[in-house]
């Protein structure tokens, strides 16, 4: 990557970051391109130098989050832990990350309302890949006798629901730190698959 390309990539990243922050506050439809630009001390028009439009900008922010989520899982998978510990760590990381990137996760909720067909295809592809990681862990846990799950996809979706909902009710004003909180939530969540 040349110097210029790197600079552009960096700028794009900065924009995506700002976008995520503003989107977190106001939601997709409540956020205007001007809002995002203002947050960056830029002008509306400049955004179009880096992204094709609002949809594109938001889509890319979405993709980034999905990729990062995947990385999180992969990182845990390479640690030397029991299956159960692995799943717990994955859940904790997911919750932690979802609270950090609250914005992006909120957009995940109704993508069909926002994105184009092609974009949705890509999003669903990544989601499924992510879900597959959980399925594999659960299946391994069942094999190893740690878990007791007959319908893995159902259980996995219940699991993901319990996790994703956290963005709806976690309040940073609470007594617990984000990580302690995530730990606590995980304890209850893991029960969904436990023997």
Residues that bind DNA (CB under 7 A): 4, 7-8, 11, 31-34, 42-46, 48-50, 52-55
- The distance from CA 158 to its chain's CA centroid, rounded to whole angstroms, is 17
CB of 109 to DNA, least distance (A): 19
Minimum gap (Å) between residue 124 Cβ and DNA = 22
Closest CA to 137 of 146, 125, 128: 146
d(CA 88, CA 93): 9
Interface with its own copies (CB under 8 A): 26-30, 106, 109-110, 113, 149, 151, 154-155, 157-166, 168-169, 184-185, 188-189, 191-194
DSSP 40: T
Task: Compute the least distance from the CB of residue 44 to DNA, in Å.
Answer: 4
Binding partner selected for residue 151 from its own copies, DNA, none, CB under the kind-specific 5 to 8 Å limit: its own copies
Q: Which does residue 44 touch among its own copies, DNA, none (CB within 5 to 8 A, set by kind)?
A: DNA
**Closer residue to its own copies in complex, CB, 13/112:** 112
**What burial letters (b/e) apply to 134-160, b meaning 16+ CB within 10 Å?**
beebbeebbeeebbebeebeebbeebb
- Name which of its own copies, DNA, none residue 106 binds, using a CB cut-off of 5 to 8 Å depending on partner kind: its own copies
Least distance in Å: CB of 80 to its own copies? 28
Encoded tokens for 83:
């299956």
DSSP string, 92-106: HHHHHHHHHTHHHHH
Binding partner at 100 among its own copies, DNA, none, C-beta below 5 to 8 Å by kind: none
End-to-end CA distance of the chain: 50
Smallest distance from the beta carbon of 37 to DNA, in angstroms? 7
């Amino acid at each position: 990557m040349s110097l210029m390309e790197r600079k552009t990539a960096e700028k794009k990243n900065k924009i995506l970051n700002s976008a995520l922050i503003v989107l977190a506050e106001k939601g997709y439809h409540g956020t205007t391109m001007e809002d995002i630009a203002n947050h960056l001390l830029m002008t509306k028009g400049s955004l179009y130098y880096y992204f094709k439009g609002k949809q594109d900008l938001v889509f890319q922010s979405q993709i980034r989050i999905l990729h990062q989520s995947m990385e999180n899982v992969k990182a845990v998978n390479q640690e030397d832990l029991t299956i159960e510990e692995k799943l717990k760590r994955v859940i904790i990381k997911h919750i932690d990350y979802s609270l950090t990137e609250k914005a992006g996760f909120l957009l995940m909720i109704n993508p069909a309302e926002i994105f184009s067909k092609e974009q949705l295809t890509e999003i669903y592809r990544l989601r499924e890949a992510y879900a597959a990681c959980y399925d594999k862990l659960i299946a391994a846990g069942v094999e190893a006798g740690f878990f007791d799950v007959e319908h893995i996809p159902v259980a996995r979706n219940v699991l993901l629901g319990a996790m994703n909902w956290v963005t709806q009710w976690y309040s940073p004003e609470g007594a617990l730190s984000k990580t302690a909180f995530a730990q606590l939530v995980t304890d209850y969540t893991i029960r969904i698959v436990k023997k």
